[in-house]
Amino acid sequence: MPTVLTDEELINKAFNESSKMELELPSRLPAIVKAKKREHSRMRLVEKITVGYLESLVKSVPNLDSIHPFYRDMLEILVGLAKTKAALGRISRTARIIHEVNKANIYHLRDARSPSAAADVRRSFFGRVSSLIRGSREDLTILAEMREKMKDLPTADPDVPTVVLAGYPGVGKSTIVCQASTAKPQTRSYPFTTQEIMIGHINVHHLTIQIVDTPGILDRPLPERNKAELLSISALGQLADIIAFIVDVSETNGFFLNDQKQLQEGIRTAYPNKEIVAFFNKIDLASPHQLEEAEQLFGCCVRISAEKGEGIDLFIRTVGEALRRVKKPEMQMG
Ligand SMILES: Nc1nc2c(ncn2[C@@H]2O[C@H](COP(=O)(O)OP(=O)(O)OP(=O)(O)O)[C@@H](O)[C@H]2O)c(=O)[nH]1
Ligand SMILES: [Mg+2]
């Protein structure tokens, strides 16, 4: 998608180019004929620039009904699908109206009896074009906003086997992604660090898998969730072949093991068809009692100290095996 011009930028671009336009006309022509030819060309140029720009802008947006559901969900959360579609529709309509107004004014130009009357027709056309484009100000802003937000989204390949990390904020998801893959997400010692979705790649036995880091999601009803949380939920649903549920066994992220178990159950209910594999992180900080409690709740899980890089190999192998199980036919083909 090209940069989106503001209404003023588009108006200035069209009018500047039309005022710079030089038309070679034989000097023997009568003044009124020359004036009409000149105004005709200027009006055509303004039409060409504005209509051309608006139409190509609309065309540059992929068909919203056929994009990957992950991106459709993202667009819905970040901008709003209906809002974007309506803006695109109105911009197309504005382009058509400018085209019609141009035709009508070129017709009026024939009746002009003096160079100044010809200039009046052109001025009236320019006035209409300005106000039509100013009327698209909000719609252009919507598209500019959409372009900004969508351009930073990660490129997800729906055909590559994908593990999505889930868990409360601060359990160490980004640290794990950082250790295991090519992605370099931000990590901080306070929760809610990851506001966006980050995608890295790992090679397991000649097989590339995608690993998706998500903002921590809280065990709350949907309407109370913020945008970052909704993004995680969308990613989980659209991208995940399996979900790696990360448990902070040391509870230093501020969430008790019981709460973490409840979140896992919430995810299981939301995605009954996804395989969820739990992993114990922050083993270095966990007490024997915490480990025992965690095993009672989650069963026996791979243990990781992500910060030290311990257990990452086993994490990768376990994820690879789980993906092989759920995506067996496709992975054998690859
Ligand atoms: N001691 C110890 N600290 C860890 C371990 N794993 C992660 N941490 C620390 O825990 C903090 C949070 O880790 P992050 O990886 O940012 O957690 P996150 O789950 O991505 O958090 P959000 O993005 O907020 O959801 C950071 O300060 C990490 O350095 C670990 O195994 N041991
Ligand atoms: Mg994170």
Across 11-25, 187-201, 313-327, least confident range: 187-201
Cα 175 to Cα 173: distance, rounded to the nearest angstrom:
5
- What is the SS3 assignment for 171? coil
Across 207-221, 272-286, 294-308, least confident range: 207-221
Q: Partners of 248 in the beta sheet?
A: 281
DSSP E strands in the chain: the ranges are 162-166, 198-204, 207-213, 242-248, 275-281, 302-303
- Judge residue 164's burial from the number of C-beta atoms within 10 Å of its C-beta, 0-12 exposed, 13-18 middle, 19 or more buried: buried
User: Which residues are within 8 A (CB) of 303 and not within 5 positions of it... i.e. 6 or more apart?
Assistant: 249, 279, 280, 283, 311
Q: Whose CA is closest to 303, among 324, 321, 320, 318?
A: 318
Residue 228: what pLDDT? 76
- What residue spans of 152-240 are helical by DSSP H? 173-180, 227-239
Residue 192: what pLDDT? 62
Read off the pLDDT band of 191 (50, 70, 90).
Answer: low
Cα 162 to Cα 211: distance, rounded to the nearest angstrom:
6
Could you tell me if 224 and 67 are in contact, meaning their C-beta atoms sit under 8 angstroms apart? no
pLDDT at residue 12 tops 50 = yes
pLDDT at residue 125 tops 70 = yes
Cα 151 to Cα 154: distance, rounded to the nearest angstrom:
8
Query: What is the side-by-side strand order in the sheet with 162-166?
Result: 198-204, 207-213, 162-166, 242-248, 275-281, 302-303
Q: Show the tokens assigned to 263.
A: 């979140």
Residue 306: what pLDDT? 97
Could you tell me if 74 and 150 are in contact, meaning their C-beta atoms sit under 8 angstroms apart? yes
Residue 158: what pLDDT? 77
The mean pLDDT of 181-189, rounded to a whole number, is 70
Read off the pLDDT band of 321 (50, 70, 90).
Answer: very high
Percentage of the chain exceeding pLDDT 90: 65
The mean pLDDT of 208-215, rounded to a whole number, is 88
| Pocket probe mutation, ligand 1, options 187, 225, 247, 255, max atoms within 8 Å of Cβ | 187
Amino acid at the residue 218: L
Ligand with smallest separation from the Cα of 247: 1
Residue 187: what pLDDT? 66
Could you tell me if 124 and 43 are in contact, meaning their C-beta atoms sit under 8 angstroms apart? no
Could you tell me if 126 and 7 are in contact, meaning their C-beta atoms sit under 8 angstroms apart? no
Residue 328: what pLDDT? 61
Please name the residue that has the structure tokens 């937000």: 149
Residue 333: what pLDDT? 42
| Pocket probe mutation, ligand 1, options 181, 193, 260, max atoms within 8 Å of Cβ | 193
Q: Is the CB of 200 under 6 A from ligand 1?
A: no
pLDDT at residue 68 tops 90 = no
Residue 189: what pLDDT? 65
The mean pLDDT of 187-205, rounded to a whole number, is 75
Q: Show the tokens assigned to 69.
A: 């559901």
Average pLDDT, the chain: 90
Q: Is the CB of 210 under 6 A from ligand 1?
A: no
Look up the pTM and report it.
0.75
Q: Whose CA is closest to 147, among 62, 230, 66, 220?
A: 62
